[in-house]
Amino acid sequence: MNPENNKLSEIMSSALEETFEEMAFLEVCRVQVPDDPPDEGGLLRVSLLVHDPFPGELCLAAPRSLVTEMARILFSTEGESIPDETLLDLQAELLNTIAGRVMREITPEEATFRLGLPETGAQSLSDSNCEAIKCHFSVDEEIVSMTVSGDALLARAETC
């Protein structure tokens, strides 16, 4: 599925931009697929399932260095090393907020939606062969990517 002109990718971009700016005062800019993809080993990944009304999954991947920088801004810490647990907790909270914004946009007003809890290190649907939309963003000169997968979620986004 082409993410460029897709309604869901617009909603995703807007949710990610607002969340990063409001929580960490960082500007976000949507970019094309990077020529030089970030090293997978340096990425922290968090995923979250959408249970109802359109089952699917959202996944956020960000460089460890960027999440560390955000944690320093949020927790006002300098110099000290920040444990992985704290970094993943921060990233999970970012994804949770982004997911809520995305789902508010695509869920009919009279309906309720139900999100799972953010998970780290779990096998993601976006790693399988199912259809997905992946968008890339430049944040503080680093590349963050967000993937949405799941037939029902993608189909809803096409029609909302």
Q: Is 14 in the site for another protein (CB under 8 A)?
A: no
Candidate ranges 37-45, 57-65, 91-99, 136-144; the one touching another protein (CB under 8 A): 91-99
Q: Can you tell me which of 107, 138, 142, 155 binds another protein, judged by CB under 8 A?
A: 107
Q: Can you tell me which of 1, 113, 131, 138 binds another protein, judged by CB under 8 A?
A: 113
Nearest distance from C-beta of residue 58 to another protein, angstroms: 11
Nearest distance from C-beta of residue 137 to another protein, angstroms: 18
Among residue numbers 16 through 35, which ones bind another protein (CB under 8 A)? Answer: 19, 22-23
Candidate ranges 3-11, 55-63, 90-98, 140-148; the one touching another protein (CB under 8 A): 90-98
Q: Give per-residue burial for 11-38: e unless 16+ CB within 10 Å, then b.
A: bbbbbbbebbeebbebebebeeeeeeeb
Q: Is 51 exposed, middle or buried (0-12, 13-18, 19+ CB in 10 A)?
A: exposed
Q: Is 100 exposed, middle or buried (0-12, 13-18, 19+ CB in 10 A)?
A: middle
In the chain, the N- to C-terminal Cα span, in Å, equals 17
Q: Can you tell me which of 101, 131, 134, 155 binds another protein, judged by CB under 8 A?
A: 101
Q: Is 47 in the site for another protein (CB under 8 A)?
A: no
Among residue numbers 69 through 88, which ones bind another protein (CB under 8 A)? Answer: 74-75, 86
List of residues 6+ apart from 126 with CB closer than 8 A: 47, 57, 59, 132, 134, 147, 149
Phi, psi of 23 (to 5 degrees): -85, -35
Residues at the interface with another protein (CB under 8 A) = 19, 22-23, 74-75, 86, 89-90, 92-93, 96-97, 99-101, 103-104, 107, 109-115, 117
